[in-house]
């Protein structure tokens, strides 16, 4: 990016930037309301030179990117979209910590505040607060094209003059004005900046002065925040700052509390109001006086929101709204799981091919088994989800950026609220398998868009209870074996059961673990816009890459551990000997039979074939087949014994008494344990443990026939297993993603233990019902 | 001019905000969105289950739950 403004920067400016900053780059922060086009501007400035991560301890995305203005390198920090600098949400806390960091060296030199020109007041409300914090601000009055089309003009010179802040008209989509905004921000960066001081009226101002004096005298937090700003925040009842003050100087904190309490009770008795209400009223008052007298001119005939209003009449209509929403959700699923199945298949094929290749290259034995079954099998399983995640997030990003997602939350909030959740919880639930066949991994990742913390956690913890695609084969196998006459009905009931349990459990969680009043819903329904391809692709790729990177590394370790658990210890030669002896004996019988059959066949081809010979051949073939079947049984018995002997098998036997009340034996228990690795593994492990060889999840017929004939199994056990599989511990990839999104290992363990406990209870209740129904 | 709370405001009628009676986080969020005394407001729609309610204020659409709209006093123009 070239810019003429740089050359005009004076000597004063050069003196203000340090040598290091001029060489390595100046840090400039990018702030603004949600939906103001900030991210589009950020992408336009930084292009591909972006780095996306997380702020430590929270799941707010940290986006930084490099750009330059003339020779000067600039590190842009894209802050999460906020309306204010209160400490109520994680986003707001992050914005504050970036603008006024503990380490003064990380403090941005200036802030570019992106404002949607149509909602100038609200945008300026944030700008005032940033200026009060002492940061130099440049206003990027964005979406100027839309404003112009709606017949709106803003006298930016007048606004700049009255507001004391430089303002530039911008259109982030086309890049208009961005160079200039950056250049102005660099000018701002090179100057010292004094915090903005505005009057808060006859009641608040004296209190503010007294507090400021105390803070300045004792130098409380003054290296980080301007004294007056600290006083303001304390008056607003800012708990985070109050705690910081408490740990800085307990006595002073009490003294400051006293001032605040006096003001609060005075305001309550005289004006029936609170300090924070008065402060916000005066802030808006300051903004309104700056905008007075023709700064903003509008033609009354054109309404920028006319198109949005028309669309909303249809899309949020009492009847059409829900119908269209169902259609949108259905389309999303269809695209993701039907179309996504192709690339998913390619990834699976690739790993299958790689596995075969390695089988050929590596000598048979433990190393081959580790590489092929453990590493390639495990990592391939994880990566095969990547196409699904990318497609799903492509659609989710489109729905989000277009403004439709906010409408979904708006339409369904009433239902979700009854269970202590938020309208925005619906999408993650649906993605996770609210419509059978979803996947909890993108579901958990989709909770990112939720801004209410308690609701978000409850959503995240309960969405793995949905009928994800990997659980379906288990249900299919069991219904085929025990409920063959009503398979579809049972599958539907299971999906409904997932919803019911998830909603009830989240209600329970919101009354216990995530207790507390519901977060205010108050949200903007942004105008409908056609999203830019670039922002959608960036969004999608960021999420996909995070999944590949984080889940990939941990999963590698987990796959190896699970492989080891189901491989070691191997049977000793003594243990295996009886089986191998039987197999060898059978082989000894089969080989001569084979020779006899071959000889007979050769004779039959000759001229003197007799009926006797044909009969002989048929009977020999029959004998051979019987022997081969016995041999297969023995081989399967060996495999079963091998599994039983491994650590995994031993654990299965160890926990068997615990799961007896549900009707599961050790084989089912091992399968459930391996199901924690991936739900797909349940069937294949059951197949091995029930000694019917490897079971193909797509064709579980043999296993289902085996179970139907097993005296230990019944409709009741099948029901209890289906309920258990539906609810118990999420698979490991989900758990890892959950750990990242919820912010801590304890949530991983919580989810494992809590869900399994719920599953146990529900499955047990299921056995009681089953006994009543089927005896 | 009749005063009422926002929940009772009929769709399409223009009104002006008189007072926000919510405290703490809710009060803060309502004000952050630009719902402050003096602003003119209009109900533009309701969700299919009659709750939340969609409001038009200066240049944007804001959704509020009915229980939250109770904290906003308005005066019909």
Host H or E run for residue A569: none
Structure confidence by residue, pLDDT tens digits, A658-679: 999 999 988 899 889 888 888 8
Host H or E run for residue A546: helix A533-546
* Complex confidence, ipTM: 0.95
Highest mean pLDDT among A177-186, A383-392, A647-656: A177-186
What's the pLDDT band for A4 if we cut at 50, 70, 90?
very low
* Separation CA A394–CA A533 (nearest Å): 10
Q: Which two tokens stand for residue A252?
A: 């002073």
Residue A635: Cβ-neighbour burial (10 angstroms; 0-12, 13-18, 19+):
middle
HSE, CB side, 13 Å, CA atoms: give it for residue A516.
Answer: 13
Instruction: State the pLDDT at residue A14.
Output: 40
Is B48 within 8 Å of A125 when comparing Cβ atoms? no
Q: Residue B29's domain is classified under what CATH number?
A: 2.30.30.90
3 state SS of A471:
coil
| Mean pLDDT, rounded, for A62-69 | 89
Q: Which of B32, B44, B51 sits opposite A309 (nearest CB)?
A: B44
* Separation CA A754–CA A731 (nearest Å): 14
Q: How many domains does chain B have?
A: 1
* Separation CA A272–CA A102 (nearest Å): 37
pLDDT greater than 60 at residue A97:
yes
Instruction: State the pLDDT at residue A199.
Output: 95
Domain residues for the domain of B55 are 3-76
| Mean pLDDT, rounded, for A342-359 | 87
For all residues of chain B together, what is the average pLDDT? 91
Structure confidence by residue, pLDDT tens digits, A405-458: 899 999 999 999 999 999 989 889 988 888 777 788 888 988 887 878 889 999
- A310 Cβ neighbours under 8 A, 6+ residues apart: none
Q: Which residue of A has its CA nearest to B47?
A: A411
The closest of A98, A82, A61, A727 to A440, measured between CA atoms, is A727
Q: Which of B33, B45, B52 sits opposite A524 (nearest CB)?
A: B33
Contact list in A for residue B37 (CB cut-off 8 A) is 281
B31 shares contact with chain A (CB less than 8 Å): yes
pLDDT greater than 80 at residue A553:
no
Q: How far is B56 from chain A (nearest CA, A)?
A: 10
pLDDT greater than 60 at residue A9:
no
Is B31 within 8 Å of A277 when comparing Cβ atoms? yes
Contact list in A for residue B36 (CB cut-off 8 A) is 280-281, 284
Q: Which of B32, B36, B59 sits opposite A118 (nearest CB)?
A: B59
3 state SS of A66:
strand
* Separation CA A222–CA A712 (nearest Å): 73
Q: Which residue of A has its CA nearest to B62?
A: A524
Is B61 within 8 Å of A417 when comparing Cβ atoms? no
Structure confidence by residue, pLDDT tens digits, A68-93: 988 899 999 999 899 999 888 788 88
Instruction: State the pLDDT at residue A124.
Output: 95
């Amino acid at each position: 990016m070239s810019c003429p403004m740089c050359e005009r920067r004076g000597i004063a400016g050069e003196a203000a930037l340090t040598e290091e900053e001029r060489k390595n780059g100046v840090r400039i922060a990018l702030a603004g309301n949600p939906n103001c086009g900030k991210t589009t501007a950020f992408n336009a400035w930084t292009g591909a030179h972006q780095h996306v991560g997380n702020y430590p301890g929270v799941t707010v995305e940290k986006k930084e990117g490099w750009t330059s203005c003339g020779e000067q390198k600039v590190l842009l920090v894209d802050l999460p979209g906020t309306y204010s600098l209160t400490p109520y949400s994680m986003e707001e806390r992050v914005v504050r910590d970036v603008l006024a960091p503990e380490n003064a060296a990380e403090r941005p030199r200036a802030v570019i505040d992106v404002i949607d020109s149509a909602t100038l007041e609200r945008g300026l409300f944030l700008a005032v607060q940033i200026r009060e914090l002492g940061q130099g601000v440049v206003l990027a009055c964005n979406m100027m094209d839309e404003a112009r089309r709606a017949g709106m003009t803003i006298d930016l010179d007048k606004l700049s003059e009255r507001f004391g802040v430089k303002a530039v008209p911008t259109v982030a989509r086309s890049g208009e004005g961005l160079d200039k905004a950056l250049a102005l921000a660099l000018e701002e960066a090179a100057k010292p900046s004094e915090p903005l001081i505005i009057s808060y009226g006859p009641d608040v101002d004296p209190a503010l002065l007294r507090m400021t004096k105390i803070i300045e005298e004792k130098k409380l937090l003054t290296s980080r925040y301007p004294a007056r700003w600290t006083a303001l925040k304390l008056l607003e009842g800012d708990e985070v700052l109050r705690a910081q003050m408490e740990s800085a100087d307990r006595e002073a904190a009490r003294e400051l509390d006293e001032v605040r309490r006096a003001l609060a009770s005075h305001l309550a008795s005289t004006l029936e109001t609170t300090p924070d209400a008065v402060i916000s009223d005066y802030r808006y008052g300051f903004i309104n006086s700056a905008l007075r007298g023709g700064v903003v001119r509008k033609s009354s005939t054109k309404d920028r929101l006319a198109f949005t209003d028309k669309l909303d009449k249809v899309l949020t209509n009492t009847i059409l709204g829900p119908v269209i929403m169902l259609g949108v959700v259905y389309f999303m699923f269809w695209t993701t799981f039907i179309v996504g199945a192709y690339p998913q298949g390619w990834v699976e094929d690739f790993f299958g091919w790689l596995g075969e290749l390695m089988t050929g290259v590596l000598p048979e034995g433990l190393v081959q088994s580790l590489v092929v079954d453990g590493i390639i099998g495990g990592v391939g399983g994880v990566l095969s989800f990547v196409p699904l995640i990318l497609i799903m997030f492509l659609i989710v990003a489109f729905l989000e950026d277009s403004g439709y997602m906010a409408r979904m939350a708006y339409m369904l909030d009433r239902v979700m609220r009854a269970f202590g959740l938020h309208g925005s919880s619906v999408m993650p639930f649906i993605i996770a398998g609210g419509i059978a066949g979803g996947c909890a991994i993108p579901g958990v990742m989709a909770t990112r868009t939720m801004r209410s913390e308690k609701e978000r956690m409850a959503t995240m913890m309960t969405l793995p209870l949905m009928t994800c695609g990997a659980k379906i084969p288990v249900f299919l196998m069991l219904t085929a074996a025990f409920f063959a006459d009503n398979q579809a009905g049972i599958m539907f009931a299971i999906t409904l059961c997932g919803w019911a349990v998830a909603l009830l459990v989240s209600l329970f969680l919101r009354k216990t673990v995530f207790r507390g009043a519901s977060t205010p819903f108050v949200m903007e329904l942004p105008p409908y816009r056609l999203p830019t391809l670039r922002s959608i692709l960036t969004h999608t790729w960021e999420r996909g890459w995070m999944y590949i990177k984080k889940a990939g590394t941990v999963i590698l370790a987990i796959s190896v551990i699970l492989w080891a658990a189901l491989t070691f210890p191997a049977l000793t030669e003594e243990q295996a000997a009886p089986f191998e002896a039987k197999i060898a004996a059978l082989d000894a019988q089969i080989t001569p039979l084979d020779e006899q059959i071959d000889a007979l066949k050769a004779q039959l081809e000759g001229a003197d074939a007799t009926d006797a010979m044909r009969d002989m051949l048929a009977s020999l073939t029959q004998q051979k087949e019987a022997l081969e079947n016995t041999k297969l049984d023995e081989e399967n018995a060996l495999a079963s014994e091998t599994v039983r002997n491994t650590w995994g098998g031993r654990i299965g036997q160890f926990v068997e008494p615990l799961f007896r009340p549900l009707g599961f034996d050790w084989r089912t228990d091992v399968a459930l344990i391996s199901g924690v690795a991936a739900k797909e593994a349940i069937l294949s492990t059951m197949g091995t443990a029930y000694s019917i060889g490897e079971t193909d999840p797509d064709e579980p017929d043999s296993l289902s026939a085996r179970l139907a004939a097993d005296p230990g199994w019944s409709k009741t056990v099948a029901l209890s297993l289906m309920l258990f599989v539906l609810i118990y511990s999420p698979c490991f990839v989900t758990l890892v993603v959950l750990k990242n999104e919820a912010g801590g290992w304890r949530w991983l363990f919580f989810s494992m233990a809590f869900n399994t406990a719920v599953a146990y209870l529900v499955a047990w209740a299921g056995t009681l019902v089953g006994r009543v129904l089927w005896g | 001019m009749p005063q009422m709370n926002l929940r009772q405001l009929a769709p399409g009628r223009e009104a002006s905000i008189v007072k926000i009676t919510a405290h703490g986080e809710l009060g803060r969020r309502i004000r952050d969105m630009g719902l402050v005394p003096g602003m003119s407001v209009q109900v533009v729609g309701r969700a299919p289950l009659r709750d939340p309610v969609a409001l038009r204020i200066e240049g944007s659409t804001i959704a509020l739950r009915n229980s939250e709209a109770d904290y906003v006093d308005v005066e019909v123009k």
